[in-house]
């Protein structure tokens, strides 16, 4: 799911960089060495990201942030994203039924 920047602190880029540096630019899940700033782009699979373990972007406590390669981050978030999509579908369906009743 795309990042909703308004939910992140203004200094998120700096916070994320510090988490990545502390991890040595390696995925804290699979151990893959990822691309450092300035290194040539080869594939997104080698991009290091920072995951919020509780899925709350406003929570930047150190225990909630983990450096993950893009594939590990996607796998970690998969169930959460599926649940978010399911809830949105349900909300949309309820809104649709409510509008139909109002007509």
Among candidate residues 46, 36, 54, the one with its CA nearest the CA of residue 71: 46
Calpha distance 101→81 (Å, rounded):
30
Q: Which residue has the tokens 């700096």?
A: 14
Q: What confidence tens digit (pLDDT) does each residue in 59-77 have?
A: 999 999 999 999 999 999 9
Please state which of the ranges 11-15, 37-41, 83-87 shows the lowest mean pLDDT.
83-87
% residues pLDDT > 90 (the chain): 64
**pTM above the 0.85 mark?**
no
CA dihedral sign of residues 82, 1, 53, 28: positive
pLDDT value of residue 1:
54
pLDDT value of residue 2:
65
> Which of the pair, 4 or 47, is modelled with greater confidence?
47
Mean pLDDT of the chain: 91
- Structure tokens that stand for 24 in this block: 């040595």
Q: What confidence tens digit (pLDDT) does each residue in 27-46 have?
A: 999 999 999 999 999 888 89
Name the burial class of residue 65, with classes exposed (0-12), middle (13-18) and buried (19+) by CB atoms within 10 angstroms of its CB.
Answer: buried
| Residue 60 near residue 19, CB atoms below 8 Å | no
Compute the half-sphere exposure of residue 8: CA atoms within 13 Å on the CB side of its CA: 16
């Amino acid at each position: 799911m795309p990042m909703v920047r308004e939910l992140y602190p203004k200094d998120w880029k700096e916070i994320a960089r510090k988490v990545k540096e502390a991890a040595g630019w390696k995925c804290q899940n699979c151990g893959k060495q990822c691309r450092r700033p300035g290194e040539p782009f080869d594939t997104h699979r080698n991009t290091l990201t920072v995951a919020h373990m509780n899925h709350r972007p406003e929570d930047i406590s150190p225990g909630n942030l983990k450096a993950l390669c893009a594939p590990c981050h996607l796998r970690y978030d998969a169930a959460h994203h599926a649940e978010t999509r399911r809830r949105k579908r349900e909300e949309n369906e309820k809104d649709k039924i409510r509008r139909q009743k109002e007509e």
